[in-house]
Chains A and B, each alone.
Chain A
Amino acid sequence: METAQKIIENISENKIHQHYISISNLNVSFGSQHILKNISLNFQKNKVNCIVGPSGGGKSTLLRSINRINNDDYNLIINGSILFNNEEILIKNKDLTKLRKEIGMVFQSPCVFPKSIKENVLFGIENHSKLSQAEKDSIVEENLKAASLWDEVSTRLNESAKSLSIGQQQRLCIARTLAVKPKILLMDEPTSSLDPISTEAIEVLMNRLKAEYTIILVTHNISQAKRIADELYFICEGELIESGSKDVLFSNPKKEQTRTYLFNGTCNC
């Protein structure tokens, strides 16, 4: 009875928060290696949802399950439920193309295509719809501005994207993802290969973007989580140890492991 009540509550809650992701009993394995164990959590709309935890703990695996980019991985076994907008993501015949248009992803190291800056911004959207030249120009400008890159590259849009610095390339990747008009942005340690100045630029950007997008950020950088997270999820050895708002977790964590990790950066799970 109680669980039924809970489910009904969950459903009604989901209806209120649209584009909201709810994960329950998620298990992911690669062959005999059990990576994620019984993960259940909710990501909040228009917030920076920050997944923290030590390397190899399954943070990226969790993120990669949400847009099912791991779908073709060899030996992948995935069980449980991920609801997005009240629709199950983990069904077999899910339209992955549509899903990935709605849930965009920015990867750890920037990966620009050997094309011009402009072509890189248009790379995704151009494959989805036919665009006039005017539309292309406005999409390029709008999204480069949204990614805080426009001022730096507006005069050299036709130059190779490889000529940009790594930090600029990462913002170009963000612009490219935004151009597809997703509702959710998955960010897998987007600043880990960047210098401090570029990192700050992207953190400021994330803070701005959360007004329009729901951000799910993976980081192993605790001070970054402290700076920009709204919600915090601590994952260690494939298990969700604790979750809650950043302020609560940083001031008064319930679990000893959380305290050790957040304050000492070490893990005793």
Chain B
Amino acid sequence: MDRKLKNSIFKMLIWAAACVAIGILVFLITVLFYKGFQSISVDFLISESKNFGSEGGVFYQIIGSVLLTLCAAIISFPLSLGFAIYKSEYVKNKYLQNFTDTIIYSLNGIPSIIFGIFGLILFVNFFNTGVSWFVGGIILAIMILPTVILSSYQSINSIPNSYRENALSLGLTKWQVIKTVIFPRAISGGFTGLLLGLARAIGETAPIMFIATAFSGVTFPNGLFEPVSSLPTHILSLAQQATNPDALENAWGSSLVLILLVFSFSISAFVRRLQYSKLKY
């Protein structure tokens, strides 16, 4: 076959693949926005849900989702930074490096329902916490650990070794080097990872549906060990009432709110990445 022909066929195939992928995404988002905007209003955002969600709004679902993700962020961020700094600054042994890599990637590969079951058995049943948003936050934190760890590790690892050596040669202790040279970079990289992780966490249903959320009748939690309501589980329960057109309409509205929350995390992560790519070492 002619080389030029081969080239153009290959080019066409790649274009087709890209168009199909983008097309599906655009279709999904268009439908979501079209259907969602019909049922969304200020009232929908600030009123509580009634009649198992088929009437009213999603105010407490938004509160619940935000609470869960905030909790996950507060727990996972320091843990991930610590792990990333340990991995890059203290682990010199090649085998231990590979071992930590394996752990991180395995953790990343665990299906989210497994996290849910783990939380149910360990916290809800064994520690007898009951259904609790705090436990949900812990489980989501564990789930996004790999994303945040890898992102902070990569940004620490990209600091040339000469910076460490220069700081050490000025008589700084290892802790001072970490504090002044490593930490600022780790935080910026970790924060990007955190936003990406949270974008995933906020949309998760499986890990939290048994351990952190109740489907209806939930308002502000009064303590650590109380259930909340969340957007993804709310959508799940609405989808189960699909024969009711009101419930379905609210499901579209909730989905749009959820997607907008996810977008806000992803876009802030993207903006941060742009900003920090300018900060060169």
Partners in one complex: yes
Evaluate contact between A97 and B166: CB separation under 8 angstroms: no
Q: Can you list 23 residue pairs at the A/B interface with Cβ under 8 Å? A: A67-B169, A69-B165, A69-B168, A72-B92, A74-B92, A97-B171, A97-B172, A98-B171, A104-B170, A107-B169, A109-B162, A113-B163, A113-B166, A114-B279, A123-B170, A123-B180, A124-B167, A124-B170, A124-B171, A124-B172, A127-B180, A173-B166, A177-B169
Evaluate contact between B165 and A177: CB separation under 8 angstroms: no
A103 → chain B, closest Cβ, in Å?
9
Q: Quick one: given A67-B169, A104-B169, are A111 and B176 in contact (CB under 8 Å)?
A: no
Chain A 95-129 interface 0/1 with B at a Cβ cutoff of 8 Å (1 = within) = 00110110011010101011000000001100110
Evaluate contact between A97 and B279: CB separation under 8 angstroms: no
When chains A and B are docked, how far (Å) is the Cα of A101 from the Cα of B257? 57
User: Which 5 pairs between the two chains have the least Cβ-Cβ distance?
Assistant: A124-B170, A101-B171, A105-B169, A100-B171, A111-B162
Residues of chain B lying within 8 A (CB to CB) of residue A72: 92
Cβ of B100 < 8 Å from any Cβ of A? no
Residues of chain A lying within 8 A (CB to CB) of residue B165: 69, 107, 111
Name the residue on A nearest B172 (C-beta).
Answer: A127
Interface size on A (CB < 8 Å)? Answer: 24
Cβ of B181 < 8 Å from any Cβ of A? yes
Chain B 89-119 interface 0/1 with A at a Cβ cutoff of 8 Å (1 = within) = 0001000000000000000000000000000
Evaluate contact between B181 and A107: CB separation under 8 angstroms: no
Chain B 168-184 interface 0/1 with A at a Cβ cutoff of 8 Å (1 = within) = 11111100100011000
Cβ of B3 < 8 Å from any Cβ of A? no
Work out how many contacts link A and B, with CB atoms closer than 8 A. Answer: 55
B contact set with A: CB distance below 8 Å: 92, 160, 162-163, 165-173, 176, 180-181, 279-281
Evaluate contact between A114 and B281: CB separation under 8 angstroms: yes
Name the residue on B nearest A101 (C-beta).
Answer: B171
Evaluate contact between A127 and B176: CB separation under 8 angstroms: yes
Cβ of A144 < 8 Å from any Cβ of B? no
When chains A and B are docked, how far (Å) is the Cα of A123 from the Cα of B280? 18
When chains A and B are docked, how far (Å) is the Cα of A118 from the Cα of B240? 64
Extra contacts, 20 of them, besides A109-B162, A123-B167, A173-B166 (Cβ < 8 A), are A69-B168, A72-B92, A97-B171, A97-B173, A100-B168, A100-B170, A100-B171, A101-B170, A101-B171, A105-B169, A107-B169, A111-B162, A111-B165, A111-B166, A113-B166, A114-B280, A124-B167, A124-B170, A177-B170, A180-B170
Residues of chain B lying within 8 A (CB to CB) of residue A114: 279-281
B162, B166, B279, B280: which has the most chain A beta carbons within 10 Å? B166
When chains A and B are docked, how far (Å) is the Cα of A114 from the Cα of B279? 8
Chain A 35-46 interface 0/1 with B at a Cβ cutoff of 8 Å (1 = within) = 000000000000
Cβ of A47 < 8 Å from any Cβ of B? no
Residues of chain B lying within 8 A (CB to CB) of residue A100: 168-171
When chains A and B are docked, how far (Å) is the Cα of A173 from the Cα of B168? 13
When chains A and B are docked, how far (Å) is the Cα of A114 from the Cα of B162? 13
Residues of chain B lying within 8 A (CB to CB) of residue A67: 169
Residues of chain A lying within 8 A (CB to CB) of residue B166: 107, 111, 113, 173
